[in-house]
Amino acid sequence: MMKFFAVLIFVTTVGFVNAQSQKFGHINLNSLIQVMPERANAEAELSNLQKEMEDILTEMQKGYQNSLEDLEQMGEDVSNIKRDAKIDELRNTQQRIQDYRITAQQQIQKKYEELLKPVYDKAIIAIEKVAKEHELLYVFDTSSNVVLYKSNQSMDLMPFVRKELNIE
């Protein structure tokens, strides 16, 4: 029992001394990205793409509206075949508009990720460089509580905890 307490005191003391020498850092990554000039360029390009896609959607909606007006102007003397064909055309146009909206949203999201990935990569590289210069073990993103940098000097407690819990 005395051995156990001696080991416990030793481990606690070593842990306390190590904890005092460990250095942590934090940064709000989103705030950093907002002030990077590359972000403004990426957002301008994304805005242009969105406008182009909105213009296409507007044209598609105008075509749908024109077809709808054509259907409304058909008199009662129009055959059911012609009326049904116009209704089918409207349904097809409506489905194409819905499909285009989904595709456009996906393309915009993909382009957003494509344009901002280099910005985020540049920010992460800078964070890593500063963290190494200041000999930090961890850098936490205060906007999302994500660890952005982990030093190789950090101790992995997994084997010790697994042993403590008798997990192989």
Q: What is the DSSP string of 114-144?
A: HHHHHHHHHHHHHHHHHHHHTT-SEEEETTT
Computed on alpha carbons and rounded to an integer, the radius of gyration of the chain in Å comes to 31
| Eight-class DSSP state of 4 | H
Asked whether the whole model's pTM tops 0.75, one would answer no
Q: For 127-157, write each residue's pLDDT tens digit.
A: 888 888 888 888 888 888 667 777 666 666 6
Nearest to 89 by CA among 58, 68, 72: 68
Residues of the domain holding 46: 2-164
d(CA 98, CA 93): 9
d(CA 128, CA 136): 9
Tokens of 47: 């805005």
Task: Give the pLDDT score at 7.
Answer: 45
Task: Give the pLDDT score at 21.
Answer: 67
DSSP SS3 for 148? strand
Instruction: Assess contact for 92 and 67: CB atoms under 8 A.
Output: no
Q: In this structure, which long-range contacts are made by residues 40-48, counting pairs with CB atoms below 8 Å and at least 24 apart in sequence?
A: 42/115, 42/116, 42/119, 43/115, 45/111, 45/115, 46/108, 46/111, 46/112, 46/115
Q: For 91-137, write each residue's pLDDT tens digit.
A: 999 999 999 999 999 999 999 999 999 999 999 999 888 888 888 88
Domain count of the chain? 1
Q: For 22-54, write each residue's pLDDT tens digit.
A: 778 888 888 888 888 889 999 999 999 999 999
DSSP SS3 for 165? coil
Contacts of 142 (CB under 8 A, 6+ apart): 26, 27, 28
